[in-house]
Amino acid sequence: MTRQAGLPLERGACPFDPVPAQRTQAPVEPMTYPDGSQGWLVTGYQEVRAVLADKRMSARAELAKVPLDFGPLPPPKPADPGVFTGMDDPDHHRYRKLLTGAFTVHRMRTLEDRVAEIVDAHLDAMAAADGAVDLVEAFARPVPSLVICELLGAPYERRAEFDGYARTMFSKDIPVAERIDATQGVVAFIAGQIKEKRANPGDDLLSDLVRGDELTDEELANIGMMLLVAGFETTRNMIALGTLALLENPEQLAKFKADPELTAGTVEELMRYLSVIHIGPIRTALEDVELGGVRIKAGDPVVMSLPVANRDPEKFPDPDRLDVTRKAAGQLGFGHGVHQCLGQQLARVEMRIALFRLFARFPDLRLAVPFAEVDLPHDASIYGPVRLPVAWRRE
């Protein structure tokens, strides 16, 4: 079977399940793109890991010619300086090495107390509100936004500015030109911060990079843009969608609330079960490669579906069931290989503290609207509720 690109993003009967159009009979299937070119859709767990770990599969932006469902793209060009997610080694390694020290497990653990303070402050504000509360605006959005601002040294009072840019960047229904303008808006925002850090460096990641004197201002601005947007948009959706998934699975929620030792494992299981990135990443074969019993030719684009790979029954038995006691280590929500998410430890810290303290503070938290009325748009590349009205019994 040959899949058609422009895959619809609509979820099926269960909005937590992968997009039905991405479910395949084989772990690797041919795909035809809108311009008529041929490529591949990879959905098997082992096959996705193999692609992500294979240096013959290039992440170079100038080779990616796959518009998918996000409309026509400008002609492919090399990644801008600093945008290492669209590069291969050695360029990718040079940038990543400079940043790895900022995202170690040890440094993330040192942030735990501050993350807890931020979480508790927002829970206090929720408790003081009258009536139902939108969990997205009151909690899921501001918590990771403030954390990444503090990590980078960006002013939190300007969060609405880059939050608006992020919403534009990840919406497929907005013209490509507007999304590119939004990206440049974030870059310009970070460029302004870099000038301030050069004059008055502080105790933050951007200041550390400026002191290192190994990167140009253009490189720094592009790196900051990636970290700022990625650092809160995905986590925001995971906190909100993870809360919704737990509320809709009361038996699993009861286990989670009863045993604090399950918190870290629950985060891994939610990352597996939800996989908020609709589709991707994308690679291009640099030479002929055997994968899943088929030959992928040099130059072929390869699109991976992490949500489907995370539901592979050969890796995760009964994969369509949320199970907070499952050993979900190895889930692909953060990717795999040299391009694995740089901020994954920070995301884990935020999700673990946010979810545990949310349900500890409001053990009878519930939806304030019928589940069918929760707005789960399919027009964004990162999946999650726009609003999540919740309520609880007040003393």
**Residue 207 belongs to domain spanning:** 3-391
Count CB neighbours of 122 within 10 A. 20
pLDDT of 9 > 60? The answer is no
Assessment of whether the complete model's pTM goes beyond 0.85? yes
Helix (H) or strand (E) holding 42: strand 38-42
Q: What is the pLDDT of residues 73-104, one digit of tens each?
A: 566 788 999 999 999 999 999 999 988 877 77
Task: Quickly tell me which residue has 């990443």 as its tokens.
Answer: 281
CB 331 within 8 A of CB 271: yes
- Mean pLDDT across the chain, nearest whole number? 88
Helix (H) or strand (E) holding 149: helix 142-152
Q: Report how many domains make up the chain.
A: 1
CB 363 within 8 A of CB 370: no
Count CB neighbours of 254 within 10 A. 12
The CATH number for 148's domain is: 1.10.630.10
Of residues 31 and 55, the one with the higher pLDDT is: 55
Longest distance between any two alpha carbons in the chain, whole Å: 66
Task: Quickly tell me which residue has 């291009």 as its tokens.
Answer: 284
- Residue 4: what pLDDT? 54
Give the model's confidence band at 247: pLDDT under 50 very low, under 70 low, under 90 confident, else very high: very high
pLDDT of 70 > 50? The answer is no
pLDDT of 158 > 90? The answer is no
CA distances from 216 to 10, 51, 61, 89 (A): 42, 32, 20, 19
Q: What is the pLDDT of residues 228-238, one digit of tens each?
A: 878 788 999 99
Q: What does the CA dihedral 321, 315, 54, 383 come to, rounded to 10 degrees?
A: 0
Q: What is the pLDDT of residues 170-208, one digit of tens each?
A: 776 777 788 888 888 888 989 999 999 999 998 888 898
- With pLDDT > 90 as the criterion, what percentage of the chain qualifies? 58
Q: What is the pLDDT of residues 282-333, one digit of tens each?
A: 999 999 999 999 999 999 999 999 999 999 999 999 999 999 999 999 999 9
Q: What is the DSSP secondary structure assignment for residue 369, as one 8-state letter?
A: S
